[in-house]
Amino acid sequence: MKKVSHEVKELMRELLSEGLSAEGFVFDTAVAAYLLAPTDGSYHLERLAVQYFPQEFAQSGQEILQAKAYLAPDAFSPLGDRAPALGAFASHCAWIEALYGLLAKRLRDLSLNRLFESVELPLCQVLAEMEVAGFLVDRTALEDFGLHLKTRIDEIQREILALAGEEFNINSTQQLGVILFEKLGLPPVKRTKTGYSTSVEVLEKLQGKHPIIDYIMEYRQLAKLNSTYVEGLGKVIGPDGRIHTCFQNTVTATGRLSSTEPNLQNIPVRTALGAKMRYMFVAAPGNVLVDADYSQIELRLLAHIAGDEAMLEAFRSGADIHTSTAAQVFGVPPESVTGEMRRRAKAVNFGIVYGISEFSLAQDIGVTRREAGEYMERYFDTFRGVRAYMYDVVKQARRDGYVQTLMGRRRWLPELQSSNFNLRSFGERVALNMPIQGTAADIMKVAMIRVRDRLLREGHTARLVLQVHDELIVECPEAEAEGVKRLLREEMEGAAQLSVPLLAEASAGKSWGEAKG
DNA sequence: TAGGTCACG
DNA sequence: ACGTACGTGACCTAG
């Protein structure tokens, strides 16, 4: 009998938690529906039944809608009548079976079956294992950090209220706007739908005009760290001292994973204070964390997909891609590239991957629109293959109605047919970006399966604990660290064959912060 | 519940 | 002449 499920990762997690086998599943109706239409948003069984079997659902769909009530815990109490629950369960199974038949055929018709069978389905078990494993947190260090933050938050709060000359809620953008732009008379830089903007870009422009600004910026940073990370994470540490995130595999439009309850894919790193958070994520006694990340995977994919000679050469020569881009764009030898030139070139490189406009580039790096336009012109003069790619991929998307990754993952783009300029422009940027971001996601998923399988095959105790888009973290006994570093690098680098080297770097430490730093 | 803000790749 | 970079999730306030 074939084992088919709806949201099989959830079932696998339960099985693994009970010490049972999670092997042998051949289909997942939710994941299949996601591959067919990754922007649909929800893949509840009821919704899929309505979507794919509207006629039949109208006849008998009510039974499924009642399933939740029937399947509530007390439905199985000795006193309850189990017949309705069993009937609803049978109906649930019947819909899964019907959807299995239809969705499997649709996957084959769109050549998505290989991605499904060799990537998405095997990945479900890897993710279930990671969720069960969890990530150990140093609770004491987290609490100490929280106390330190609170002390400072109180100090700053007093300063802010004193400078404002009245009590108000600093967390309220509305109240803060009134204080800054009415009471203190600072110039409003930008507005939102509902009033004054008080975002960090606005505050940066106001720096030096009033001493309250620096305090507000510091308050925001500390309040975010405390509420989202210290307190938020503290609430979800399990009885085992570990945090068990949920990896969503049917959410993003590009094929990436996401992480919820809690989100472990946005733990701070960019500021020195925030990066302290990563030292709270630790290895169990006697173990270490091995962290490995891809080097410039999206730009390497741009070079590969666009087939751009200049960019291919830059990667083949092992050059620093942002420095190399700066040298081309500013017309100087690489050794004459300044820090500022490299920073701007880096912004151009990111902008290209996102579907740039000169306006946004100008805003991002703080130059005039004209200057930004000149950078882009020189960029496209150098990287002619990239310009051609940008044109071709949008043209193809208009013709076909979708874009796809190297492994055939699709995103439909009805936006390109819109009469609304903004929506159509958005569709064009997505057409540029999705094949790149999505291929990177495909490759990482393949890497995760390879890493997990080889760890098992070679008898390592090591286990994957986290993925952050281009980064993997493994927890392993100290004695295995060197072997695991090598294994991670090899399996990540070997996950795809590109026309440029695909590089991954690995390092180990007692905490996430230590391993990265 | 929606909007603003901000954390990440 | 448009309005202005891709993909996420969590917390807070206001209505």
Q: Mean pLDDT in each 10-residue stretch from start to end of chain A (517 residues)? A: 96 97 98 98 94 85 56 52 70 92 98 98 98 98 98 98 98 97 96 94 96 98 98 98 98 98 98 98 98 98 98 97 95 96 96 92 90 94 96 97 98 97 96 98 98 98 98 98 98 98 98 93
CB A282 within 8 A of CB A140: no
CA of A358 to C1' of B8 (A): 25
- Residue A291, judged by CB atoms within 10 A of its CB (0-12, 13-18, 19+), counts as buried
Q: What was the pLDDT predicted at A266? A: 98
Residues in contact with A148: Cβ distance below 8 Å, sequence separation at least 6, in sequence order: none
Q: Output A173-177 pairs: Cβ under 8 A, ≥24 positions apart.
A: A173/A198, A176/A216
User: How far: A513 CA to C8 C1' (Å)?
Assistant: 22
Which nucleotide is nearest, taking the CA of residue A245 and each C1'? C9
- The encoded tokens of residue A347 equal 């912004």
Q: Nearest residue (Cα to C1') for B5? A: A199
**Rounded CA–C1' distance between A269 and B7, in angstroms:** 9
Residue closest to A30 by CA, chosen among A93, A98, A115, A99: A99
DSSP code, position A281: B
Cβ < 7 Å from strand B, A residues 245-284: 265-271, 274
What's the CA–C1' distance between A341 and B1, in Å? Answer: 45
Distance CA(A342)–CA(A327), nearest Å, equals: 8
Please, what is the end-to-end C-alpha distance for chain A in angstroms? 50
Extract the tokens encoding A479.
Answer: 């004695």
Question: What residues contact residue A66 under an 8 Å CB cut-off, 6+ apart?
Answer: A84, A88
Q: In what order do the strands lie in the sheet with A463-467?
A: A463-467, A471-477, A287-294, A504-509
Structure-token pair, residue A258 = 């996401």
Q: Give the per-residue pLDDT at A74.
A: 53
Provide the pLDDT for residue A64: 54
Q: What is the pLDDT of residue A57?
A: 83
Query: For chain A, what is the radius of gyration of the CA atoms?
Result: 26
A232-CA/C10-C1' distance, Å: 9
B2 C1' to A195 CA distance, Å: 15
pTM over 0.85? The answer is yes
Amino acid at A112: L
State the Cα–Cα distance between residues A246 and A97, nearest whole angstrom.
26
* Token pair in block for residue A122: 């095997």
The answer to whether A2 CB is within 7 Å of strand B is: no
Do the bridges between strand A471-477 and strand A287-294 make them parallel or antiparallel, or are there none, so unpaired? antiparallel
CA–CA gap between residue A222 and residue A150 (Å, rounded): 8
pLDDT at position A158: 98
Q: Which nucleotides of C are covered by protein (CB under 7 A)?
A: 1-15
The nucleotide whose C1' lies nearest the CA of A350 is C5
A469 touches strand B (CB under 7 A): yes
Q: Cα separation of A168 and A347, whole Å?
A: 38
Detail the DSSP E strand segments found in A153-286.
191-192, 195-196, 242-243, 246-248, 258-260
CB contact burial A250-280 (16+ within 10 A = b; e otherwise): bbbbbbbbbbeebebbebbeeeeebbbbbbb
Provide the pLDDT for residue A71: 54
Which residues of A35-184 form beta strands (DSSP E)? 135-136
The nucleotide whose C1' lies nearest the CA of A192 is B4
Spatial neighbors of A496 by CB under 8 A, at least 6 apart, are A406, A442, A443, A446, A502
Q: What integer pLDDT is reported at residue A489 of this predicted model?
A: 98
Provide the pLDDT for residue A89.
78
